[in-house]
Structure 1
Amino acid sequence: MNKLLFYIFICFTASGFSQNKLKSLLKKHNKESIPYIYVKELKEQATLPILLDARESSEYKVSHLKNAIYVGYDNFKINTVKTKIPNKNAKIVVYCSLGIRSESIADSLKKAGYNNVENLYGGIFEWKNNNLPIYNSEEKVTDSIHAFSKTWGKWIKKGTKVYE
């Protein structure tokens, strides 16, 4: 029985430690100007919000959330979003790999008058780490996930990392 309790303690501590490290990383890189939505909250939504993928095209092609609209990061254009989403009250969730680039894109949306925008905490990495499906360019479920770089890829705990 003591071994079981020890194992549960180690698993709980490791999980909490990982989340604390992610929290620290996001705090370091983000201003927290956009509210976060957590994977668990997003997946439990009765009606999914509009999902915007704020990564680069090569990342999106390897893996993205179902029905996500690619908006990019380096070449992001607010007018593209205005054309695709004219309703400024629409519920929008922006994501990237971990939630850093997506905050910047979400800020641009906020400045353009969109008032119901959230940033996916932990991004597509956290989505995949929770064993949720991701899709490739053919809209088929894939286990491959674009890891962006070796530095950032360490945050992926599930799936097959792809570097391109």
Structure 2
Amino acid sequence: MRISLFSGGTVWGLPVFFLGIILFATPSFSQSLPYRTLLSTLYDRDFPVVKSDQVTDISEYQILDAREKEEFEVSHLPKALWIGYDTFSLKNIAGLDKNQPVLVYCTVGARSQDIGKKLQKAGFTKVFNLYGGIIQWANEGRSLEAAGKPTQKVHTYTRTWGIWLTRGEKVY
């Protein structure tokens, strides 16, 4: 699934030039207004999200990475299980407990929400989408790993999505 922000030189109905002004004039908070606005257009209001600052003990969740293998190998949340998006299969998560909390994430939360809905239909009772995805997680300075070692690298899916990463090393 490819998501494009740009259509006819505008983003959210604004000329790209004005988006640049908004992006660079916005004070450096944990999450910019334009990023929050973008996320609000991607998420279904009735699908539960968890913000990274609400995850006080990551071990309470079964963590699923809904990005592609190449993205996962660059970095992922600690203890995350790669499940993919295009290649997702319920067979690959047969060993998970359907009654324990599941935290699904991707780059910004669109793909993970889709996978989360599939998990709900399959009988998982406590499924949550990580608000803002791995980008928000990294922007808040939360730990990432690759091959069992800490890393600052984040695969941002595309250069366009990479504009939202303010902390860490962008990989495309």
Q: Which bin holds the TM-score, normalised by the shorter protein?
A: 0.7 to 0.9
1:91 has 2:101 as partner: yes
Residues 16, 46 of structure 1: alpha-carbon distance in 2 compared, 3 angstrom cutoff: closer
Counterpart of 2:119 in structure 1 is 109
Q: Aligned partner of 1:62: which letter?
A: V
Deviations 1:42-89 (A, max 9, x none): 1x13743110000000000000001000000011112212x121x211
Partner residue in 2 for 1:74:
86
Unaligned runs of 5+ in 1: 1-12
Q: Which amino acid aligns with 1:14?
A: P
TM-score by length of 2: 0.79
Distance 1:32 1:59 in 2: 27
Deviation at 1:109, TM superposition (A): 0.2
- TM-score scaled to structure 1, two decimals? 0.83
Kindly indicate whether the alpha-carbon contact (under 8 Å) linking 1:33 and 1:107 is maintained by their aligned counterparts in 2: no
The partner residue of 1:58 within 58, 66, 70 is 70
1:9 equivalent in structure 2:
none
More helix by share: 1
- Cα deviation for residue 29 of structure 1 reads 2.0
CA distance in 1: counterparts of 2:108 and 2:48, whole angstroms: 14
> Can you give the 5+ residue segments of structure 2 that lack an aligned partner in the other structure?
1-25
Write the distance in 2 (CA, Å) between the matches of 1:148 and 1:104: 17
1:52–1:94 contact (8 Å) kept in structure 2: yes
Match of 1:146 in 2: 155
Aligned to 2:134: 124
Give the share of equivalent positions with the same residue, in percent.
36
